[in-house]
Amino acid sequence: MTPLAGAPAHCTDDIVVPRQTRQAYSDAPRCPVSAVAATPPAERTIEPVDLAAAEQFLDLYYSENPAPVAYEERLREVRTEIDETGSYDHTPEELAFGARVAWRNSARCIGRLYWNSLHLRDRRMVSDPAEVGAESVAHLRESTRGGRVRSTITIFAPDRPGRPGPRIVNEQLVRYAGRRRPDGTVLGDPRTLDLTTRALALGWQPADPPGRFDILPLIITDGADRATLHDVPRDAVLEVPLSHPEHAWFADLFLRWHAVPAISNMPLEIGGVRYPAAPFNGYYLGTEIGARNLADPDRYDMLPTIAERMGLDTSSPRTLWKDRALVELVLAVHHSFDRAGVTMADHHTESERFLTHLDREERAGRQCPADWSWIVPPISGGATPVFHRYYDEPLPDTRPAFLPPGS
């Protein structure tokens, strides 16, 4: 599921737009390992904005929001901009609404109840990869809030005809490196083998000796698809060491996970305008870490180790050793995040909240598309209410939307 698995109810509906006089993102240090790809690929071609898509979005915006400018006047402004430039600028209010509705439309997300609380960091004036990297680090710092994680989106420069926007290659702002050992096993996260290889080719210098939880730098491309590296400082990433409320040996596994799941490679499309770099986060479901990231055989594959430490009979799947180890791993994740004071949702509570969201959407006269295979949690699915019903099928042309990577 997407990291927008939940949003704290106390978030406010505000928009942050930096003053033009602000100094250039001094929060994050310059990356000492920045490097440019030797042979940049051909420049991307950006088509003019489809006027029909812009009109469709304005219809939606004006149907759900009071606006200081009359619809006809705003539509005239947008048509003129598109005729003259091939694109148009969203107002800050339109941008915030579009980003929130993209979350509302996310069929794979169980945590959409608080879609209207998504906090916007408007950085549309930022296109330089170094500044994108610094602002991405600032996103992590601001959304973490010492563990009281806030659902946040940072929107960078859009694609425009003749001027493509920047892109973040990493699928999340925080990812752990994966490196293959001589014996064929992987140190770290196997999911990032290719990304780690690319970062090393661009000049990344990892810790020596390398570990299982080394934070990868960001790979960011400019409008000509030239890739550069940008460091993610360790002090910008809140991590939670994992322990178990009953098994003292669990801490000796030296597992940990980061607090903020920020998706960074899904373009955002609003009213025909595409924002190729728009990292966004919610907060984690415990099952995302415990039942997937640390448990999947093609990720950290910790179930055999945990089962062995528990003394379980692993000779046959009929002993349910995987199920028992999985529950204890998820329990350890919840226990550790709660102990550290870091926001996390559980799959039972979030399932109830999703049905509340579904009811609200139906009462508002809107469809609520959902991908059953993503909405139902990867553990104890039949014990949650989201398991026992069908949902509206996702429609690929629904907008606003977060698009598949590379779109």
Give 226-257 pLDDT, tens digit per residue: 999 999 999 999 999 999 999 999 999 999 99
**All structural domains of the chain:** 1-28+46-125+145-165+237-377 (3.90.340.10)
Average pLDDT, the chain: 91
Beta partners for 176? 215
Say how far apart CA 123 and CA 3 lie, in whole Å. 21
Chain mean position to CA 307: 31
Note the pTM of the prediction, 2 decimals: 0.90
Identify the CA nearest to 175 among candidates 199, 208, 146, 155. Answer: 199
Q: What is residue 7's predicted lDDT score, i.e. its pLDDT?
A: 37
Q: Which two tokens stand for residue 143?
A: 């959304």
Q: What is residue 253's predicted lDDT score, i.e. its pLDDT?
A: 98
CA dist 246 → 25, 43, 217, 251, 329 (Å): 45, 56, 36, 11, 12
List the helix and strand counts (H, then E) for the chain. 10, 15
Q: What is residue 67's predicted lDDT score, i.e. its pLDDT?
A: 86
List all residues 6 or more positions away from 65 whose beta carbon is below 8 Å from its beta carbon.
93, 97
Identify the CA nearest to 106 among candidates 388, 358, 378, 400. Answer: 400
Neighbour order of strands in the sheet with 167-168 = 167-168, 218-221, 227-230
List all residues 6 or more positions away from 331 whose beta carbon is below 8 Å from its beta carbon.
244, 245, 290
Strands 268-270 and 401-402: antiparallel
Q: What is residue 44's predicted lDDT score, i.e. its pLDDT?
A: 77
Task: Look at the chain and count its residues.
Answer: 407
Q: What is residue 348's predicted lDDT score, i.e. its pLDDT?
A: 98
- The ranges of the chain with pLDDT < 70 are 1-43
Q: What is the enclosing helix (H) or strand (E) of 15?
A: strand 15-16
